[in-house]
Chain A
Amino acid sequence: MIILLTFASESDRDKFEYIYSKYKNLMLQKAYGVLRDYMLAEDAVSEAYLRIYKNLHKIDDPTSNKSIAFMVTIVKNTSLTILDRESKKATELYDEAQPDTFDLEQHILSELSSENIYAVLNTINEELRSVFLLKFAYDMSHREIGKALGISENNVTVRLHRAKKKLSEMLAKEGYVREKY
């Protein structure tokens, strides 16, 4: 068992080392893009790598698109948290006062291409999007998402709700969903 654990640990160490060396500059660039301060960007990257290390099991292939997106999602979110802390103001989550219809399941989806999906998801803010992606693309529980992003589980639940609501409205508005049952 100890040998197995050691082996697993060695393989994790190699994986992490690869991830760190390969992507640290990209991560720094992303963090700097949010924070516009090199020292703070380093703080964000350092914190993000710790969170990535704790979620290393989510990264099967460090070179896959999915893994890179996962890492950048974490670093962008960490940067936003630092930005909030630094500017001492709560991040605004733009929520329009619209009734929550939540009736996508009652629609028929058509003609939603990858480009459209990309564009639609890019219209919601990073904090909502990251929770949404960690939930649906990486199949993480609310607790795992909370730990990965450094927010409470309640906050995860609220953000997820808002993200789904936003997307539902957006899809209906853009006409990607049509026809009710």
Chain B
Amino acid sequence: MKNIDREELFRQMASQYVDQYGQELKRELAELEQSKILHATPSLDRRVRQTIAAQRRKRYTRLAGLLAACILLFLLVPNMGTFIGSDTAAPSTAEAEAESSAPAEVPQQEDSAASTGPEHSAEQEFEVIPLSFELPPNLSVAGFEQDNEKSIYYLSDTRLDDVVMTMEKAVSQEDYSKEGLVEISINQHKTYGRTEGEYSLLTFEKEEIRYVMTCKHDINTLVSLGGYIL
């Protein structure tokens, strides 16, 4: 008997499902093709092709912009170097001598800067943001998932109002729309919440971490959890 990790089990189930579903769809497609009830779809054809052509144009424009920016950068950077060089291009004789006596210094610095490059990119792996606060007594961690930069905690509630809490470093305002949310003050901190819709939601930032928490029923579950964090 084999101990199967939950996520791995879900992965296997999903893979098997899509394989079987795909087979079933292939059969349906074959039947559809055999039955010869295929519709001519001129308006759909036109719409889809126009949409895709527009999408492609958009993509090309973006690519062209990117390429132009790269070329501009390529042209500007050496010039900038020359410009900076020309600023210091009139050193004293002593400086000039010193420079000429140590010609390998600048390339060495460049080399060392280049060698730190990969280390920096390796550090860009997404970090798990740990829970740095106590949970209310009714909540306990039931699951965890790291989705790119987001650390997602599934919190089980003894009062049957489970919470999904997402934490991420608040580096940009992207996706942090407060539209449709009402301001709720918790321990004199501004938070934003919503009770309508599929689920209740509460979001706020603290110490450069953005918290987004959701639950099915009562926003007070989230407010109480927020109180433990803020």
Q: Which residues of A are at the interface with B, using a C-beta cutoff of 8 A?
A: 1-2, 5, 9, 13, 16, 20, 22-26, 28-29, 42, 45-46, 49-50, 53-54, 64-70, 72-73, 90-91, 93, 95, 97-105, 108-110, 112, 114-115, 117-118, 120-121, 132-133, 135-138, 141-143, 153-155, 157-158, 161, 164-165, 167-168
Contact = CB atoms under 8 A, between A and B. Distances in A.
Closest 9 CB pairs of A and B: A65-B22, A136-B14, A137-B14, A69-B18, A105-B6, A102-B142, A69-B22, A104-B6, A69-B21
B93 interface: no
A29 B9 CA distance: 32
A153 B16 contact: no
A107 B3 CA distance: 7
Given A118-B17, A136-B14, 11 more contacts: A28-B39, A28-B41, A42-B44, A42-B47, A69-B22, A90-B197, A90-B198, A114-B16, A132-B14, A137-B14, A155-B198
Q: Pick the most buried of A22, A25, A138, A153: most chain B CB atoms within 10 A of its CB.
A: A25
B169 interface: no
Interface stretch (B23-31, B76-84, B96-104): B23-31
Given A9-B56, A28-B39, A167 B13 contact: yes
Given A95-B216, A132-B14, A105 B5 contact: yes
Given A121-B13, A141-B148, A66 B18 contact: yes
Interface stretch (B114-122, B155-163, B182-190): B155-163
Interface residues of B, number: 63
Contact of B158 (A13, A42, A99, A104): A99
A136 B175 CA distance: 24
B72 interface: no
A154 to B, nearest CB: 6
A25 B39 contact: yes
